[in-house]
Amino acid sequence: MTHVRKAVIPAAGLGTRFLPATKAQPKEMLPLVDKPAIQWVVEEAVRAGIRDILIITGRGKRSIEDHFDRTFELEYYLEAGHKVDQLKEMQEIAEMADIHYVRQGEPKGLGHAVSAARQHVGNEPFAVLLGDDIMHERSRVLEEMLLAHERFGRSVIALKPVEPAEISFYGCAKAHDVDGSVVRVEEIVEKPAPEEAPSNLAVMGRYVFTPEIFDALEQVTPGKGGELQLTDAISILLDRQEVYGWCFESGRYDIGNKLDYLKATVELALEREDLGPAFAAFLDDVVHRHQQ
């Protein structure tokens, strides 16, 4: 089976859920502790063995490109100041992957953003990682999805059970068990009302696609707001070939959601050897004071 060599990270959204913080900076550059969100996503792809990464950007996203580029003035300053560890870290950011960029001319939805990757991807399977979804470093969701793709030779989407009241925020898949965490998708719909949802399995922001998804995207008609929905393209793909799902339950943060962003920041900070103990003591004091 063809090894998946390329990943696509759509990063052209306007970040309206985080205004005013995202008025003049990309939402993907918001920090989780001391690392921008998109770096967490790139590192996840690299851990899974994918180093050819295409980031779909848009107007006002130039700082993403600058972040993954070499900064010789900064490196010179760090070297002159004998800040060896920081210098090594900055150089590793620029060298961790072969990162390419293409602009999505206008925000026409996730489906349109993925379709912009067609020329770069060519006739190969590829992964899609959404920048709003951060997976914990211990999560092996992407690695397991890649193994499932190698096993079946078909597209694989990440699925997570959610409460019925939450399903209208996500794509929703009806599926039947294959074995273990693998399911075969029977139906997929975009943001159904809770009473109309075919299941409680929500589509999360990780996908491994066969190249046939591009033909399906060409057939998608614009939906609400004139956007092309990736979920609609997966539904079309279902009529042509099997689509599988990988089900998981933990390790994911929706950092486009303010509460999840705060949770991710706290949990990731607590795990840091240099910050965790002091931060835990501070949080314990905060809780104690608020309970009084």
**For residue 284, what pLDDT band results from cuts at 50, 70 and 90?**
very high
- Of 22-26, 183-187, 224-228, the one with minimum mean pLDDT is 224-228
Give the DSSP H or E segment for 6. strand 6-10
CB atoms within 10 A of CB 291: 6
Residue 112, classed as helix, strand or coil, is helix
**For residue 34, what pLDDT band results from cuts at 50, 70 and 90?**
very high
Residue 2 pLDDT > 70, yes or no?
A: no
**For residue 220, what pLDDT band results from cuts at 50, 70 and 90?**
very high
Q: What is the pLDDT of residues 146-181, one digit of tens each?
A: 999 999 999 999 999 999 889 988 999 999 888 889
- What share of the chain has pLDDT > 90, as a percent? 71
Residue 142 pLDDT > 80, yes or no?
A: yes
- Of 224-233, 240-249, 263-272, the one with minimum mean pLDDT is 224-233
Residue 3 pLDDT > 90, yes or no?
A: no
CB distance 196 to 206 below 8 Å: no
What is the C-alpha to C-alpha distance for residues 108 and 86, in angstroms, rounded to an integer?
39
Give the DSSP per-residue string, 249-272.
-SSEEETTSHHHHHHHHHHHHHT-
Assigned CATH class of 6-275: alpha beta
Residue type (1 letter), 78: L
CA 65 centroid distance within chain: 17
Query: Kindly report the CA angle at 260 between 292 and 28, in degrees rounded to 5?
Result: 135
Instruction: Give the pLDDT of residue 1.
Output: 43
Residue 144, judged by CB atoms within 10 A of its CB (0-12, 13-18, 19+), counts as buried
Q: Where are the domains of the chain?
A: 6-275
CB distance 171 to 191 below 8 Å: yes
**For residue 257, what pLDDT band results from cuts at 50, 70 and 90?**
confident
Tell me whether the omega of the peptide bond preceding residue 194 falls within 30 degrees of 0, making it cis: no
